Amino acid sequence: MSQVKTPAEIIKEITKKDPAEEYNLIYDSTSETLEPVYFWVLDFMNPLFGGNVQKLVDNFASSPGSGHFSELMAKGTKMQEEAMKIMQTVGILIKSLINIVYDLRQFEMALNDYKEARSNDKSKSGAALLALKQKWLDNVDIKRGNTSIKAMAFSQASFATLIDAFMVVDSVDGIKKIDLNDRVKRILEQRVLEFSKWKELSEKEMQKRYHIEKSWLKNQVASLKLYSRWAKPYLKAAEELMMVEPKSAALVKAFNTITLQLTLFGKKKIDVVDSAQNSELPEDFAKIKFKRDYYYCVLVDLNFRGIPQRAGQHYVFGGRAEVSFKAYTLNDDEIKLLERKLEESDLADALTLVETATTETLGEIKDDLDYFLKDEEERESEESEKASEQDINPFTSLIGMGIKKTKKEKEKKGEEEKEYIGSTGKELKEPKDIKKDNYAESVIRKYAGKKAEETCFTIYDTYKKSHNMASSPDRV
């Protein structure tokens, strides 16, 4: 979970520019904690950016010799143990589901022979009836031992035609029409009658077992969904309690020290039409339809080094807080690439292992589950009209992730497909994929830069004034 690049470093890599404005604040007090600083900045930024303030980074690290380290590691271990207990049950359920799906597929293939035997198509019904007779010979009649049809046909010359005659005859009345000796006919009458009864009863029994298995499948799917919901908070908590790799020189093994890294990001879109009408941008800009929007943004980095002190059931942290306020101007493409870079880094890497395991392992049986959990009427309607699938697969919600849906499936469900496609229609992977600003866009960027500088200074200066600090001489 160690952070590779900070958001500020990623933005510089994308824009090739330093912040339009930057202010730094150092607050060192063993009696003051970071919480008031963080929440003051968050609460002040939210109205300025219309509530669109994101927390991009939330990392911490404790020195190994501190009591805070021991307590958090114990909590993390407890979360992991609870999650693993549930995941073991999930594994058993998954194995059970795979076996049930296999059994249902076998039942369906067997029942298909009974269905085809009643078909009006003589070629299909004849083939299906031969298949059923073969099953009866191999599984039922064979238990007679030396008096079974196969044993008698192979061991006694007088019954050599018994197997062929049994496979040809469809009913007891049909036996009278074929040219056979009386001994063979008497055996055939008995076996054909017994086969007819077996065919009727075995189909009913198999249908019953098929429906029981389907009911059991639904039960197992419901249980899997339940256990998945139970496991999610434990896995998430265990991931969030993991510390970053302590690279700071402030973290001495034997000391009682903690470091915190927090990053807030606020953005607000430039309303070109409104700004043009207010003469803040050229009037002609109100008539232009721009392919991408521009935003003025403020990035606030809070780095804290403190001493954990127990206060009841919790800890408070007094120490040194370094807060930096940075102003940026970004367009849609740059923000999308920033989001992609953050997701690719360890900043948004929670539960990746679980997602990969469930997706790759269970993707193979997704179609079977969707198939067997639907009624025949639903299947027929789907096949004829190609209706959209219902979200009944338990793995689509497993640990909040599960089987990845295609873009088409998401569109059918009205879900937004998150793609990193730029204004040119191409996928955004690197800064070179972002189209450069044209003249009009460069004017908007310059205007947004001024708005970003003003907003950044407002946050910084207001914080200082509200805490009885000297006002900044940079602006009046």
Are the C-beta atoms of 224 and 394 separated by less than 8 Å? yes
Tally of CA atoms within 13 A in the half-sphere of 60 that contains its CB: 17
* Averaged pLDDT for residues 49-72: 81
Asked whether the predicted pLDDT for residue 220 surpasses 90, the reply is: no
* Separation of CA 329 from chain center: 32
Which tops the pLDDT comparison, 473 or 178?
178
Cα separation of 298 and 470, whole Å? 22
Asked whether the predicted pLDDT for residue 471 surpasses 60, the reply is: yes
Q: Dihedrals φ, ψ of 5, to 5°? A: -135, 145
Are the C-beta atoms of 133 and 166 separated by less than 8 Å? yes
3 state SS of 475? coil
Asked whether the predicted pLDDT for residue 121 surpasses 80, the reply is: yes
* Mean pLDDT (the chain, rounded): 79
251 torsion bin: left (phi>0), alpha (psi -120 to 50), beta (else):
beta
* Averaged pLDDT for residues 4-16: 86
Residues 6+ apart with CB under 8 A from 52: 266, 267, 268
Strand partners, 297: 267, 328
Q: Is 151 exposed, middle or buried (0-12, 13-18, 19+ CB in 10 A)?
A: middle
Are the C-beta atoms of 353 and 80 separated by less than 8 Å? no
* Averaged pLDDT for residues 23-43: 84
Are the C-beta atoms of 102 and 213 separated by less than 8 Å? no
3 state SS of 429? coil
Instruction: Compute the Cα dihedral for 435, 441, 444, 450 and give only its sign.
Output: positive
* Averaged pLDDT for residues 50-62: 85
Q: Dihedrals φ, ψ of 95, to 5°? A: -60, -40
Tokens of 236: 């998430």
Supply the pLDDT for residue 348: 39
Tokens of 133: 């007779």
Min mean pLDDT across 19-23, 141-145, 168-172 is at 168-172
Are the C-beta atoms of 141 and 192 separated by less than 8 Å? no
* Averaged pLDDT for residues 312-340: 86
Within 181-280, where are the H helices? 182-240, 272-277
Strand partners, 309: 316
DSSP 272: H
Q: Is 311 exposed, middle or buried (0-12, 13-18, 19+ CB in 10 A)?
A: exposed
pTM score > 0.75 for this model?
no
For 102, other C-beta atoms within 10 Å of its C-beta total: 12
Asked whether the predicted pLDDT for residue 275 surpasses 80, the reply is: yes
Per-residue confidence band for 22, with pLDDT thresholds at 50, 70 and 90? very high
Supply the pLDDT for residue 375: 66
Question: Buried b vs exposed e over 3-42: b needs ≥16 C-beta within 10 Å?
Answer: beebbbebbbebbeeebbbbbebebeeeebbbeebbeebe
Cα separation of 79 and 76, whole Å? 5
Min mean pLDDT across 57-66, 258-267, 409-418, 438-447 is at 409-418
360-369 pLDDT, tens digit per residue, is 555 666 677 7
* Averaged pLDDT for residues 111-123: 87
Supply the pLDDT for residue 376: 60
Cα separation of 367 and 390, whole Å? 12
* Averaged pLDDT for residues 178-186: 80
286-309 pLDDT, tens digit per residue, is 888 888 999 999 999 998 888 777
Residues 6+ apart with CB under 8 A from 29: 318, 319
Tokens of 81: 């143990």
